[in-house]
Structure 1
Amino acid sequence: METIRLAVIPGDGIGHEVVPGALKILERLAELHGGLKFEFEHYDYGCDYYLEHGEMMPEDGLEKLKESDAVFLGAVGDVNKVPDHISLWGLLIKIRREFQQEINVRPAKVFDGVRSPLGSPKDFDLVVVRENSEGEYSSVGGRMFHEEHEIAIQSSVFSKRATSQAMEYAFNLAGSRSGMVTSATKSNGIYHAMPFWDDVFKEVSMEYPEVSTTSEHIDALSASFVTRPERYDVVVASNLFGDILSDIGAGIMGSIGIAPSANLNINGKYPSMFEPVHGSAPDIVGRGLANPVGQIWTAKMLLDHFGYEDLGGRLLKAIEDTLREGIMTPDIGGNSSTEEVTASILERL
């Protein structure tokens, strides 16, 4: 019997509405497997914690989370309570950086029955692999002077180690899929960092001759995500570009509410973290409108990460069958509640 210890952080807003159902689903799948068990340790870190304690998590918060096998996160942020730069950098980004979660993985695919703003797109099934630790989201820089003389300097940081690591992950992933990697670049406009990115991509691609490659500028690539998403398999991108592309991927699926993600530590020193993309959505809290699919699909990614691809595949099929039957929340064209969608997925398992 394998026991997976999860540090559970519902966080803010609808995180408290979608996480409980996802945990029930993980427990059900463990029961069906018979040789798997989950142990949940719950943490109340988030904006309400900040209002009470003046910090998003306690000083020893990371030490507590480090005792787990993975972190299962709901949502972080509520700008009505705490500024975003405090909530994100005090919890979500802090965990990513301190736990060396240097790879971010975000899939997007067509679900039968889900209304897409593209109308009836061709089948697409793509994954964005995002370098998750540096790039444009470096904290190097600062602000100085005041009033009309004030300036802000923000420096991007690209290391060969982290850049090649993200690309190697993308190539290995593509080898188990359709065998194509697209690099997101902007070397015609960003003078130093993106030509460096292109050089590393060419160098890494030489190690994977069986995988085909393309390199596209981020502006054209973003447009192509909307007009021809079926062209793509695995897309590797810097921190900023990957963030943008993965949200476009969520949008063309039909809603950011169904998009999952994984923040992966691949050196084995710290736990990885699994979270949906949708955020805390304070405008719909308590109304039963939150889409649970993003959190539940994230649970599928967690199962895959621990080697339970059979259970992950079973869960994805239950999600697909539920949506195909029209059991979905209003953001993707349905009239079902959070609880009704979750219950339908549980029933199909």
Structure 2
Amino acid sequence: MKVYKIAVLPGDGIGPEVMNEALKVLKTLSDMDSTFDYEITEFNWNTDYYMEHGLMMPENGLKQLKSFDSILFGAAGDSRVSEHIPIWELIMPIRKNFQQYINFRPIKLLRGLETPLQQKEDIDFVIIRENAEGEYSTSGGKMYQGESRELAVQNTIMTREGISKVATYAFQYARDHKLRKVTNATKSNAIIHTMTLWDSVVEEVANDFKEISYEKYYVDAIAALFVERPKDLQLVLASNLFGDILSDLGSAIAGGLGVAPSANINPNGEYPSMFEPVHGSAPDIAGKGIANPVAQIWSLALMLQNFGRSDLHDKVLFSIEDVLEEKRTLTPDIGGKATTEQVGDAIVRKLQKRM
């Protein structure tokens, strides 16, 4: 039986708090399912580490992580360092060097949660976001700092190969999951170089999947569609920046960032994939014991799915929904008074009943 090697990076702020609850769930699965086993190695690469070493991770950090089957990430960043430092010295090096070019975000209104939208309809679609190039680039620079003529240039990097890989993954996912439609989020009417390349390559890939309907929306129009007719969406394909913004909007209509998971996937398995909640380190509530652990636990479930254990993914997700639907043990962000630990324990109890 395979023993999965998991690198755990709890990080900053509420990261360690929600990670503790996810690890309880992981232990419950292993204790109650003889076909699943794992070992974890924890890496305390966070702002404390940066303050001591001047780096967010050791110089050989990527080499250390490469040998693992997966990375479970909490959150990074606090007020002692500039906001870009944990992003560009920890998260981005992992995503880019490990070729995690797929960012996967399920937008699903779980049982027991309410949407702020007026219409009470099912919300259940996925966003597949290009995760390794696009608008999130260090290419560019500044000149004449502090002068009236100060200027900044930020380059967007899009390649035929990069677009083709994320589009192919999206259409193949749609085929494998029997989805009928892929919706492309673009702005090629105004961004005439990169986004026209994006559209043309996406459309080339779409031609190889004739059984799947393809449609294109400008990103501002699709943002309105998220609010007005989310039931019409099945899979949204987007560039790095557009996917980032749209996925947070998607989370807002499906319960909030406290329950939103994500996966950074290296599809061919050459490098480990990384699974993390969307909410960040939330320094305003760190240490209060009230952070919602659902996003971290759901991210753990996505990791299990990536391992090929959809059965365990489903049991974890159903257990989360059992707690949400019961409404006895909820954190303040979704209308309750429970602590992080109490919610984690409640999910474990529901999971034990489902195992």
Shared fold per TM-score greater than 0.5: yes
The match for 1:10 is 10
Instruction: Give how far 1:39 is off.
Output: 0.4
Instruction: Give how far 1:177 is off.
Output: 3.9
Q: Secondary structure at 2:148's aligned position in 1?
A: helix
For residues 121 and 11 of structure 1, the distance between their equivalents in structure 2, rounded to whole angstroms, comes to 36
**Residues 177 and 233 in structure 1, CA contact (< 8 A), matched pair in contact too:** no
For residues 85 and 277 of structure 2, the distance between their equivalents in structure 1, rounded to whole angstroms, comes to 20
Runs of 4+ with >2 A deviation: 30-33
For residues 292 and 107 of structure 2, the distance between their equivalents in structure 1, rounded to whole angstroms, comes to 16
For residues 192 and 121 of structure 1, the distance between their equivalents in structure 2, rounded to whole angstroms, comes to 40
The match for 1:329 is 331
What does 1:211-250 correspond to in 2, within 5 Å? 211-250=212-251
**Residues 115 and 333 in structure 1, CA contact (< 8 A), matched pair in contact too:** no
Question: Taking every aligned residue pair, what percent have the same amino acid on both sides?
Answer: 49
The match for 2:296 is 295
CA RMSD in angstroms comes to 1.1
The match for 2:107 is 108
For residues 339 and 191 of structure 2, the distance between their equivalents in structure 1, rounded to whole angstroms, comes to 45
In the superposition, the TM-score normalised over structure 2's length comes to 0.96
Instruction: Give how far 1:325 is off.
Output: 0.5
For residues 268 and 314 of structure 2, the distance between their equivalents in structure 1, rounded to whole angstroms, comes to 26
Unaligned runs of 5+ in 1: none
The match for 2:344 is 342
**Residues 24 and 344 in structure 2, CA contact (< 8 A), matched pair in contact too:** no
For residues 77 and 108 of structure 1, the distance between their equivalents in structure 2, rounded to whole angstroms, comes to 25
What does 1:129-168 correspond to in 2, within 5 Å? 129-146=128-145, 147-168=147-168
Deviations 1:49-96 (A, max 9, x none): 111111101111111111211110000111x11101111101011111
Instruction: Give how far 1:173 is off.
Output: 1.4
What does 1:185-264 correspond to in 2, within 5 Å? 185-264=186-265
Deviations 1:298-344 (A, max 9, x none): 01100000100001011110011110011221111222211111111
**Residues 114 and 333 in structure 1, CA contact (< 8 A), matched pair in contact too:** no
Unaligned runs of 5+ in 2: none
For residues 129 and 121 of structure 1, the distance between their equivalents in structure 2, rounded to whole angstroms, comes to 25
Instruction: Give how far 1:120 is off.
Output: 4.9
For residues 275 and 255 of structure 2, the distance between their equivalents in structure 1, rounded to whole angstroms, comes to 21
The match for 2:20 is 20
Instruction: Give how far 1:269 is off.
Output: 2.1
Q: Which amino acid aligns with 1:15?
A: G
**Residues 18 and 338 in structure 1, CA contact (< 8 A), matched pair in contact too:** yes
The match for 2:127 is 128
For residues 192 and 159 of structure 1, the distance between their equivalents in structure 2, rounded to whole angstroms, comes to 11
For residues 177 and 345 of structure 1, the distance between their equivalents in structure 2, rounded to whole angstroms, comes to 30
For residues 336 and 194 of structure 2, the distance between their equivalents in structure 1, rounded to whole angstroms, comes to 44
For residues 255 and 117 of structure 2, the distance between their equivalents in structure 1, rounded to whole angstroms, comes to 8
In the superposition, the TM-score normalised over structure 1's length comes to 0.97
Instruction: Give how far 1:277 is off.
Output: 0.4
